[in-house]
């Protein structure tokens, strides 16, 4: 297939591009900065200048494509996530940016759009299992992701496929994991929510294969991740791996003061990926969290 990818130099994008190229697809990555062209070339893909804010440039880039994979994000992490305006660009990418991608794909006659999304849109379910039919909770933090999903859902019809991947929180070879390990190593609190609540995670090693599987998935929403883990186990593993003191959680007051953007991270999300597996045959190569998930981030930090 000829696959056009936005956000192809980000965490999800790089993983996806590598796997798509390895599987023999003709991959075109949309770029705005010339310095990213070398990164794209090194992955075996083709760089194509395009502007997510210009539908015309996107139509030209999507010409002849069999699928468009929308992965562009700009996610702040750590204390920066609570700063005013920190999420503005990420929100625009998921609202206006995805609207433009879908409009361009429609005009260019593309028959499949794959959209990344987040499992944090689900309402807190305590210890209950969450599947795709579970209610979502729309707040200022989750609305942009829900808007992106709605654009793709409207695109889907009898002749076009719209696939939405609600990824778990990413752990592995990524900046957010490296931040957690630095903070844990210095004895800072890193836990949000209740210690016994559930986190739904996905390792960076499994991002690319999920996007590849989405190229054959029927239209719909899919949860994509590993087995859920108790937050106390995740925090303890980060602290132990970083060589710091026992992992700590933010207190209730600090969690409230962090603002509405942090609230979804406190939700207990015991999410199942069974539907995606049943529809596509996908399975995580890292099916259950353990300390080995943190090795890549730790190695990179140690090299600095």
CB 213 within 8 A of CB 280: yes
User: 58-97 as b/e, with b when 16 or more CB fall inside 10 Å?
Assistant: bbebbeebebbbbbbbbbbeeeebeeeebbeebbbbbbeb
Q: What structural domains does the chain harbor?
A: 2-302 (3.40.50.720)
**Cα dist from 132 to 27, 81, 172, 268, 286, whole Å:** 29, 27, 25, 15, 21
3-class secondary structure, 150: helix
Length of the chain: 304
Q: What is the pLDDT of residues 105-115, one digit of tens each?
A: 999 999 999 99
Stretch 72-76: mean pLDDT, rounded? 92
CA distance 12 to 167: 10
Q: What is the pLDDT of residues 22-71, one digit of tens each?
A: 999 999 999 988 889 999 999 999 999 999 999 999 999 999 999 999 99
Where do we find the tokens 């998921």? 94
| pLDDT of 180 over the 50 cut | yes
The two most distant CA atoms of the chain are separated, in Å, by 56
């Amino acid at each position: 297939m000829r696959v056009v990818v936005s956000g192809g130099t980000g965490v999800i994008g790089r993983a996806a591009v590598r796997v798509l190229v390895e599987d023999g697809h003709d991959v075109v990555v949309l770029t705005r900065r010339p310095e990213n062209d070398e990164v794209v070339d090194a992955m075996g893909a083709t760089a194509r200048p395009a502007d997510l804010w210009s539908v015309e440039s996107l139509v030209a880039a999507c010409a002849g494509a069999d699928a468009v994979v929308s992965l562009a994000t700009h996610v702040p992490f750590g204390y920066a996530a609570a700063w005013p305006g920190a999420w503005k660009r990420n929100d625009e990418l998921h609202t206006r940016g995805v609207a433009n991608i879908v409009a361009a794909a429609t005009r260019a006659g593309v028959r499949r759009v794959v959209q990344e999304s987040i499992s944090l849109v689900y309402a807190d379910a305590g210890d209950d299992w969450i599947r795709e039919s579970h209610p979502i909770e729309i707040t200022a933090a989750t609305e942009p992701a829900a808007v992106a999903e709605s654009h793709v859902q409207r695109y889907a019809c009898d002749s076009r496929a719209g696939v939405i991947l609600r990824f778990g929180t990413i752990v592995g070879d990524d900046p957010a994991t490296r931040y957690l390990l630095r903070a844990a190593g210095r004895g800072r609190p890193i836990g949000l929510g209740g210690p016994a609540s559930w986190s739904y995670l996905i390792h960076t090693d499994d991002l690319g294969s999920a996007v590849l599987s989405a190229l054959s998935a029927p239209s719909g929403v899919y949860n994509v991740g590993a087995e859920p883990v108790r937050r106390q186990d995740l925090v303890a593993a980060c602290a132990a791996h970083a060589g710091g003191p026992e992992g700590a959680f933010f207190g209730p007051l600090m969690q409230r003061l962090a603002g509405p953007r942090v609230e979804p991270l406190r939700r207990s999300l015991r999410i199942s990926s069974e539907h995606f597996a049943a529809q596509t045959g996908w399975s995580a190569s890292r099916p259950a969290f353990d300390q080995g998930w943190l090795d890549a981030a730790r190695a990179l930090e140690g090299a600095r």
